[in-house]
Amino acid sequence: MILRISILLAFLAAFSSCLVHPKTSFTEQSRPTAPDYSQPEAWAALPDRKDSADWTPAPDLPDLQAEAEADVFFLHPTIYIGRKGERDWNGPVDDPGLNERTDNSTMKYQASIFNGTARVYAPRYRQAHFHCYFVRSDSASALRAFDLAYEDVKRAFEYYLQHYNNGRPIIIASHSQGTTHAKQLLKDYFEGKALQTQLVAAYLVGIPVEADYFETLPPCESPDQIGCYVTWRSYKFGYFPRWHDPSVKIVATNPLFWNTSTTPAPKELSKGLVVPSYDGYLPQRVDAIVNNGFLWVHKPKFPGSAFFNRRNFHIADYNLFYVDVRENAKRRTEVFLKRR
C-alpha cells in the first residue's frame, strides 16, 4: 500500500509542478523538429501496435480495438511542465523521457478509456510549455507556442483522415492543453462541414468551453445524444478558484447524468474511478454537481486519498469518471452505428 501511495503522489507531482520555463522569446530557430506522422514513432498510440492506450484496469473492461467500428482521436494534456532541461516554448517529440512520461500517464489512464469502443489514435505533438498558460510578460511567444502545437495537431489529424479513417465514426477526446487544440480542431474540420456527420461525440475535458464558442455543435443533454460535446473541470465541492468570473458563461457537463443540469448526482450513480497503480476500479465513490461552469465533487475515498488534499481535481478529471466515460462512449457509438 505504501508503494502505491508513493506512486500516486509521484503521479500528482508530475502534473502539478513547473520549475523551469523559457527565459527568451519564441523564435523560429527554437522550434523542435516537426513530427513525421507517416512514422509510427510520431504517435503515442496506434490501434495496430502494443502501447499504453491498450491498458485496462480490470478483466471486465477489455481492450476491443481489434473489433471496434469507430475511432477516437485523442489529444493529450501538457506533459512538458518544467522539469530540468524543459526550458523551450515547445516540447520535442523525440525526447524519450518526455514520451515515456506521456505514455505512462495520460495514454495509460486517459486514452485507454476509449479502447473498449474505438481504435485509439493519439499523436505526439510539439506541445506548448505549461508556462504558456500563465505567462504575462511575453504573451506573443506563448501564443506562437500554442500555434505551433496546433499546427502539429492539424497535420496529424489530416494524416489520420487520409490514411486511417476510411469513413469510420470519430470520437474526439482530449484533456487540458489537448482540449485547447481539440476545440479549434472541431471548428476547423467538423462544425458546419461534411465531417460533422461522422462525429459520434467530443469529450472536451479540463479546459473551459465558452457557451458561445460553437455555433452549431451543441452540448450533450442526454447519455445517448450524438454529434454533440461534453465538457467539465473538476473541483472540490464548494470551491471557486480566485480567477473565476461568473459573468463568463462556461458549459459544464455532469458525467453521471450526461447533461448540463445543476441537479446533484449521488455517488451511487458512479460506475467507477481509477487510481494510478491501483488494480481495478472503484464504483460508487464519486458524486457530482454542476455549478457556474464547474463540476463540484466531494473528495472521494480511495487508497491514498488521505494524501490528496487538493481543491483543484484537474489531473483526475478523467480518472474520477473512468468507467462512466468508457461506458458512455460505447453507448453513443452504438446509437451512432444504429442510426447510420
Predicted pLDDT of residue 91? 96
pLDDT of 270 strictly over 60:
yes
d(CA 265, CA 42): 40
DSSP states along 293-309: TEEEEPPPP-TTGGG--
Structure confidence by residue, pLDDT tens digits, 50-92: 999 999 999 999 999 999 999 999 999 999 998 888 889 999 9
pLDDT of 12 strictly over 80:
no
- pLDDT tier at 8 (50, 70, 90 boundaries)? very low
pLDDT of 9 strictly over 80:
no
What are 288's three cell numbers?
A: 457530482
Exposure pattern of 291-315 as b/e (b: 16+ CB <10 Å)? eebbbbbebbebebeeebeeeebbb
Instruction: Say if CB 71 and CB 64 are below 8 A apart.
Output: no
**Would you tell me how many other CB atoms lie within 10 Å of the CB of residue 262?**
11
Instruction: Say if CB 151 and CB 32 are below 8 A apart.
Output: no
State the total domains in the chain: 1
DSSP states along 209-248: -BTTS-SS-PBP-STT--SEEE---EEETT---TT--TTS
Most confidently modeled of 132-141, 235-244, 253-262, 307-316?
A: 253-262
Mean per-residue pLDDT over the chain, rounded: 92
User: Which residue would you say has higher pLDDT here, 28 or 173?
Assistant: 173
Structure confidence by residue, pLDDT tens digits, 167-216: 999 999 999 999 999 999 999 999 999 999 999 999 999 999 999 999 99
Q: What is the mean predicted confidence (pLDDT) over 37-57?
A: 98
Share of the chain above pLDDT 90, in %: 80
Predicted pLDDT of residue 205? 98
User: Which residue would you say has higher pLDDT here, 307 or 75?
Assistant: 75
d(CA 83, CA 316): 21
Domain that holds residue 240: 2-339
Predicted pLDDT of residue 29? 67
Predicted pLDDT of residue 46? 98
Predicted pLDDT of residue 298? 97
Structure confidence by residue, pLDDT tens digits, 220-233: 999 999 999 999 99
Structure confidence by residue, pLDDT tens digits, 115-124: 999 999 999 9
Q: CA-CA distances (angstroms) from residue 129 to 38, 86, 90, 120? A: 25, 8, 5, 25
- pLDDT tier at 2 (50, 70, 90 boundaries)? very low
Structure confidence by residue, pLDDT tens digits, 272-298: 999 987 889 999 999 999 999 999 999
Q: What is the mean predicted confidence (pLDDT) over 3-31?
A: 58
Residue 193: phi, psi to the nearest 5? Answer: -120, 165
What are 207's three cell numbers?
A: 479546459
What are 2's three cell numbers?
A: 505504501
